[in-house]
Structure 1
Amino acid sequence: MPGKTNFHFCIKANVKMHLLAYLLLEGWLKLIIDSSRSVEHYSLSYSNFDEMAQTYCASRSPGWVFAIRRNCANAPTCNDMCAAAENSILETISYERESVSCYDAFHIHKNHPLLKANPGSDQPDSGKVNIGSYGYGSGGCTWTANHCGPNYCCCKAYN
């Protein structure tokens, strides 16, 4: 019976493909997830707040700009933070510029209500307040050290 042979071949091939897919997935997961490491090891090094701050900084000046996190209660001024990050920033851009300085500072209010997801066209929490932010302008660069205020510094590389 030629039909029966084809049927068995298809089942065997299908089972082999599923087994191979399972073994590949299991192998990848073991390779990717090492249970001896902490959750922080696998976390991304940025957050939506970092992206918001980078977007703010980029909107305020053309050229190479960087949003640097600032711990508002225990940090130097943004001028000092940008100066301290100068080598890392210049290395990141392959030394296309010569210097780095602060030009703005930004605060994102992180304690905010969570709105409902809106994957469709509906806006279920329309009219509700969500994230607040404050742009300091160049005055944020000299904001008092070790004092809450900006939680991001905007640093710019220039010649």
Structure 2
Amino acid sequence: MKVVLCLLVVGISSFRSNEAATTFDHAPLVYNFYDVMAQAACAARGTTTNRIWAMRRSCSGVKTCHQICNGHRLTCIHAYHVYKNPKILLENSDMQTDEGVNGLSMTNYVGGCSWRAGHCGPNYCCCEGPWNTPFP
């Protein structure tokens, strides 16, 4: 466990936050936990053998999730809001700590694909395409 944590720290510290990562090789090992949460939730929405992406959406942006997905020739299947800066819970590998304390959270937006542009709501769009769709 200690070796893994050291690798994570090295990966994070070697990545400068003002640089945009163009490939995963240049991103820190943890990449972006919020993106991972959204991707997992979006993947769980899939019902067929298709490729699914969690695309970021800005609250102040001018596009709906339908427009974001369609811009990549994908179909919007769902939308979520992943809340950032959660309360940091105590480590719990040996015992269950912080019982009843909320940490991470998301809002499930039914009908979120057409949520009005320019209004905060979903900050991730679940986009789906055929299994052989290239990465957008």
TM-score (norm 1): 0.61
Match of 1:109 in 2: 83
By percentage of residues, which structure has more helix? Answer: 1
Q: Measure how far apart 1:111 and its partner are.
A: 3.6
Return closer, same or farther for 1:80/1:127 CA change in 2, 3 Å cut-off: same
Match of 2:40 in 1: 55
CA distances 1:60-92 after superposition (whole Å, capped 9, x unpaired): 113211000111122410000001233xxxxxx
TM-score (norm 2): 0.70
The 1-side partners of 2:129 and 2:79 are apart by: 15
Q: Measure how far apart 1:39 and its partner are.
A: 4.0
After TM superposition, the runs of 4+ consecutive aligned structure 1 residues lying more than 3 A away are: 37-46
The 2-side partners of 1:38 and 1:129 are apart by: 31
Return closer, same or farther for 1:123/1:75 CA change in 2, 3 Å cut-off: farther
SS in structure 1 of the partner of residue 37 of structure 2: helix
Larger Rg: 1
Return closer, same or farther for 1:39/1:103 CA change in 2, 3 Å cut-off: closer
The 2-side partners of 1:74 and 1:144 are apart by: 10
The 2-side partners of 1:51 and 1:124 are apart by: 24
Which of 132, 140, 147 pairs up with 2:112? 140
Q: Measure how far apart 1:43 and its partner are.
A: 4.3
CA distances 1:7-49 after superposition (whole Å, capped 9, x unpaired): xxxxxxxxxxxxxxxxxxxxxxxxxx6xxx9444354394111
Equivalent residue runs for 1:1-150 within 5 Å: 38-41=16-19, 43-44=27-28, 46-61=31-46, 62=48, 63-86=50-73, 100-118=74-92, 120-137=93-110, 139-150=111-122
Alignment length, in residue pairs? 110
RMSD over equivalenced CA pairs, Å = 2.4
SS in structure 1 of the partner of residue 35 of structure 2: helix
The 2-side partners of 1:127 and 1:115 are apart by: 11
Could you tell me which runs of 5 or more consecutive residues in structure 1 were left unpaired when the two chains were aligned. 1-32, 87-99
Could you tell me which runs of 5 or more consecutive residues in structure 2 were left unpaired when the two chains were aligned. 1-13, 20-25, 132-136
